[in-house]
Structure 1
Amino acid sequence: MTPPQFRVLVLDADMISCLSIVRSLAKHHIVCDIAASAGLRKPLTEYSRHVNKVFEHPDPLTEAEAFIDFIGRHLQQHAYDLVIPVTERSLVPLATTDKLAQWTPILAIAPRASLNKVLDKHETMKLAVQCGVSVPSSYAVDSVDGIHGLLPKLNFPVVLKPGRSIPNGGTRKQLSVAYAFSETELLGLGAELLAHGQLLLQEYSQGVGTGIELLADHGEIVYAFQHQRLHEVPLTGGGSCFRKSVALEPVLLAAAGRLIKALQWHGVAMVEFKWQADTGQYALMEINGRFWGSLPLACAAGADFPWLLFQLWVMKQRPPSAHYQDNMYCRKLGNDIYWYEQVIRRSEEPRLFAYPGTWQLLKDALWALHPTRHAFDVQQWRDPLPGLMDLIQIARDYHQRFSGLLYLKWQHKKHRSTAMQKRLAKQLKLANKVLFLCYGNINRSAAAQVLAEKLLANGKLGFNSAGFHGVAGRPADANMVKIAAGQGFDMSHCQSKTVDKTMVSQVDLIFVMEVQQLERLKKEFPETARKTFLLGTLTAEQPDNVEIADPYDKDFAVYETCFKRLASAIRRLGQMA
């Protein structure tokens, strides 16, 4: 039995994987401290009876240097045998700094050269080709011109993967995979993602999402586990919320082994594939050089990776091989409920997601009742409080969502009503100055002002626009500028403005884009309540939708739809005036 003096610090305490690590190590009498940056919610791991102490550190995404300095001070003050980063947001700054060199032996991070190849998706694909591992057709691009040059080679849909999930530099943010079904979508999405760094374009791969999770000792796999994704959020591909353990597939294990050997990987990793069992074909998706989101499944099936890692890293012992249970199911409850909701609502692109039938949905749900072959990521009888708090949070989230939906429905009905439209028409006849308002004033309200100034140039109305965003002087969104130019409207001169008391006092009418903005404006400037309306009530397109959604950071087609609705509303405004 492991002596109780061993002590571990687990970072990213807001992640469920952190909870799994703490529960695993506590079974072996290892003292576990946890740490996370401040958030809106208390991390579920903090409720675990196995946690010793909780620490708060700067956000590694927005304050990387402050985060590194905190960890350095913390390690000087506290003695640990192992420090485990759970996500790339904490792993990357710890792996790339030299300030923590004296603690490198206790940081559960693979060698820097190995990690760099895993973090860079283009380098990962190049390595895979060298190792004889099957990959999708992939092209690295650095510019929109590069995308133009590849168009003859591409078949749609095209998968757009950021070169790094969290790019280096001052604008570190979590980026996501996107899908394009046309040249227009590809160029628009490509321009957005290229603003953060290199982009990888790939063919869309068929198959079931399958992961080989492993522990490696300097390039040799010493333990492996395999899982199959059953439900993912988003539906087109993302984190799994329902999965099962399956027997190791020799072809996939061999492919993972070649990659790990070439990398000389040391520690835990997950090699993710798309696998077609009927044909035996596969394609590498990526390598995660850290603990993975489906770790609770591995632990429930008997593949106790946190303890395996501890034995290898701290005790310098290769753990003995142990069989894990096949066909063990595990569910992340809150996300899986949301998955069912999205399936029922048919909310995702059908060209990328095959909707399951009613019987399959019921069968997947009924697995939750199995006494020995189903587990939950969070809910656990031996450590009940995190699971209870998770249930409470799920209930709160859905209560807030449904309450909000009911309120929105009431507001939509109110603003579509004949009485409200008559009031608008009456006030419009007397108005001289109109303000368009949205959040950032770089898309919707800016475009509305430009449209109104040109389409209604011969009328008596004067126009202005602003946003709630605290930073003024920002140029209009490049995608919206491009769409407007294509329709004959110049937005190149637009500079964002921040709404203030003087601005709202000088106008007779205010048009906002969303109910949320209506409520915020009324709260900050109560005197605006009687002269504020939703611009979307004037659109011919989507007459039942009185809100004009923000296209920012969305598909290019979303920008086009937004501009079309704005133009429709402005033309209707001119008819009413």
Structure 2
Amino acid sequence: MNAPPCIVLGLETQIGLSLVRELGAAGVRVIGITQDPQAIGLASRYLHEGIVVPEARSPALLAAIRAVGERYGPCKLMAVAEVNLNWLMRERSQLGQVEALLPAPAALATVLDKQATLAAAQAVGIAVPQSIEPLPGDDLAALAARCPLPAVLKWKDPNAVAPLLAKQGLDLLKAEYVYTQDELLAALRRYAPLGAWPLVQEYCPGYGLGQFFYLHEGQALRRFQHRRVAEWPPEGGFSSVCDAVPLSEHVELQAKSIALLRAIGWQGVAMVEYRYDPVSGRAVLMEINGRFWGSYPLALYAGAGFALLSYQVAHGLPYAAEPPLNTRLRCRMVATELKRLLRIWLQPDKIIDRSFQRRPWAELLRFLADFLRPNVRYYVWSWRDPQPFLRDLRNLLRVGRG
């Protein structure tokens, strides 16, 4: 492909690595930028040039991005992390000849605010969990008495609240489960010095169902979906094992997801995440991730790569909107699976969702059997590009020795 290069900001995880592999395999010169000199994406054979800038979201990083534009001419930039998308949104006028691929500011603000996302979803007919947002001046005891139980506490904008929590010496909890009014009240009072509280949401049973889209001018040019087979932490988080799901399933839900993204004015890639209960058939919206997602390698292996499409649309190049998909695939992250097995077998007291059903032997047998299945792929390992896996292994061993 005789076309401008592309910058990928964030090479530390399988997400950035997959973007490098997808673009590089198509002939795009990929310039990767990372904070970490040991980032796995730096080891990929598909990377044209790697740049390490230790200071995140800094003047030095801006200078490095501008320098790429001065060296290569006008080019696009894709970012992996939401915190970098936010930063690029603020600094987009300082990027020189580089254009970051970003959604509209108002759309990004909606996606980063869980309460605003849920309100937009309700407006297009999507089921959402009952949610209550405590506010300054609320009687916490009275609020706890009327909240649904069991409940899950989630921050509506984790990136924004993280520094405030750190100043108070509090950990950022992605999800906290409470089962009684006393537990809920104790959790809410913990955040009283902060003057801000997480959303209190009803607990929704089922498994994670992710639907993925690329929207351009209101049209969904590409779709993909998966179900979470195993998660880290075990009670719910990100996929450690996931299966592709044919587009012929959950068709009505796909249409609602697209309607939601259109309603908020979204452009580009997005993941619409649900909790799907196969017993009742009810799908409840959890959130929208307005970025490339953690299980992105599965989409790439299945033939639904979104990075090259993003690049082609940005440059006005021809693209295949709906390529044939291999939906018989499973994708897994073995290192995370091992942590999960350790938690299930030896640390069950650390599983914070009391309704989680431990099946230690079934989990172990599935883990071993997946090595023999012909349709299994891996988040990092690739025969065509083995060096990132070896670097990841060295990084894990280094952490273990530390």
Q: Taking structure 1 as the reference length, what is the TM-score of the superposition? A: 0.63
Does 1:93 find its partner at 2:93?
Answer: no
Q: Structure 1 residues 290 and 27, CA, compared in 2 at 3 Å: closer, same or farther? A: same
**Alpha-carbon distance, 1:77 to partner:** 5.0
Give the corresponding residue for 1:274.
275
**Alpha-carbon distance, 1:111 to partner:** 0.9
SS at match of 1:135: coil
After TM superposition, the structure 1 = structure 2 runs for residues 175-186 of structure 1, keeping only pairs within 5 Å, are 176-186=174-184
Segments of structure 1 that go 5 or more residues without pairing to the other structure are 402-577
**Alpha-carbon distance, 1:34 to partner:** 0.9
After TM superposition, the structure 1 = structure 2 runs for residues 429-448 of structure 1, keeping only pairs within 5 Å, are none
Query: Is the Cα contact below 8 Å between 1:11 and 1:86 reproduced in 2?
Result: yes
**Alpha-carbon distance, 1:361 to partner:** 3.1
Amino acid paired to 2:279: D
Query: Is the Cα contact below 8 Å between 2:70 and 2:97 reproduced in 1?
Result: no
1:148 to 129, 135, 141: 141
Q: Structure 1 residues 66 and 101, CA, compared in 2 at 3 Å: closer, same or farther? A: closer
Give the corresponding residue for 2:316.
315
Amino acid paired to 1:329: R
Root-mean-square deviation over aligned CA pairs: 2.6
Q: Distance in 2 between matches of 1:108 and 1:196?
A: 35
SS at match of 1:319: coil
| Residues matched between the structures, number | 392
**Alpha-carbon distance, 1:82 to partner:** 1.6
Q: Structure 1 residues 78 and 72, CA, compared in 2 at 3 Å: closer, same or farther? A: same
Q: Structure 1 residues 59 and 107, CA, compared in 2 at 3 Å: closer, same or farther? A: same
SS at match of 2:48: strand
Amino acid paired to 2:43: Y
**Residue deviations 1:359-413 (CA, integer Å, cap 9, x gap):** 3531243122223x10111111100111122233344555x38xxxxxxxxxxxx
**Alpha-carbon distance, 1:154 to partner:** 1.5
Amino acid paired to 2:88: L
Give the corresponding residue for 1:259.
260
Q: Distance in 2 between matches of 1:217 and 1:79?
A: 25
Amino acid paired to 1:33: I
Q: Structure 1 residues 283 and 307, CA, compared in 2 at 3 Å: closer, same or farther? A: same
Larger-gyration structure (1/2) = 1
Give the corresponding residue for 1:388.
390
Q: Distance in 1 between matches of 2:306 and 2:77?
A: 15
Q: Distance in 2 between matches of 1:78 and 1:186?
A: 55
Q: Taking structure 2 as the reference length, what is the TM-score of the superposition? A: 0.89
Query: Is the Cα contact below 8 Å between 2:229 and 2:243 reproduced in 1?
Result: yes
Q: Distance in 1 between matches of 2:354 and 2:163?
A: 36
Give the corresponding residue for 1:358.
361
Amino acid paired to 1:152: A
Query: Is the Cα contact below 8 Å between 2:9 and 2:16 reproduced in 1?
Result: yes
Q: Distance in 2 between matches of 1:298 and 1:290?
A: 14
SS at match of 1:51: coil
**Alpha-carbon distance, 1:144 to partner:** 7.3
Give the corresponding residue for 2:25.
27
Amino acid paired to 1:163: K
Give the corresponding residue for 1:296.
297
Query: Is the Cα contact below 8 Å between 1:49 and 1:383 reproduced in 2?
Result: yes
Query: Is the Cα contact below 8 Å between 2:62 and 2:95 reproduced in 1?
Result: no
Amino acid paired to 1:221: A
Q: Structure 1 residues 86 and 132, CA, compared in 2 at 3 Å: closer, same or farther? A: same
Q: Structure 1 residues 337 and 357, CA, compared in 2 at 3 Å: closer, same or farther? A: closer
Q: Structure 1 residues 98 and 49, CA, compared in 2 at 3 Å: closer, same or farther? A: closer
Give the corresponding residue for 1:43.
39
Q: Structure 1 residues 217 and 193, CA, compared in 2 at 3 Å: closer, same or farther? A: farther
Segments of structure 2 that go 5 or more residues without pairing to the other structure are 167-171
Q: Distance in 1 between matches of 2:184 and 2:229?
A: 28
Give the corresponding residue for 1:133.
126
Q: Distance in 2 between matches of 1:295 and 1:110?
A: 19
Query: Is the Cα contact below 8 Å between 2:75 and 2:97 reproduced in 1?
Result: no
**Alpha-carbon distance, 1:319 to partner:** 3.0
Query: Is the Cα contact below 8 Å between 2:121 and 2:127 reproduced in 1?
Result: yes
Give the corresponding residue for 1:112.
105
Amino acid paired to 2:298: L
Q: Distance in 2 between matches of 1:204 and 1:177?
A: 11
Q: Structure 1 residues 196 and 220, CA, compared in 2 at 3 Å: closer, same or farther? A: farther
Q: Distance in 2 between matches of 1:54 and 1:8?
A: 12
1:56 to 52, 71, 95: 52
What's the % identity of the aligned pairs?
Answer: 28
Give the corresponding residue for 1:538.
none
Query: Is the Cα contact below 8 Å between 1:144 and 1:191 reproduced in 2?
Result: no
Give the corresponding residue for 2:227.
228
Query: Is the Cα contact below 8 Å between 2:108 and 2:290 reproduced in 1?
Result: yes
Bigger relative contact order (CA 8 A; separation at least 6): 2
Give the corresponding residue for 1:404.
none
Amino acid paired to 1:57: V
Q: Structure 1 residues 99 and 312, CA, compared in 2 at 3 Å: closer, same or farther? A: closer
Q: Distance in 2 between matches of 1:343 and 1:350?
A: 12
Q: Structure 1 residues 129 and 79, CA, compared in 2 at 3 Å: closer, same or farther? A: same
**Residue deviations 1:299-333 (CA, integer Å, cap 9, x gap):** 11111111122122223545331121123111112
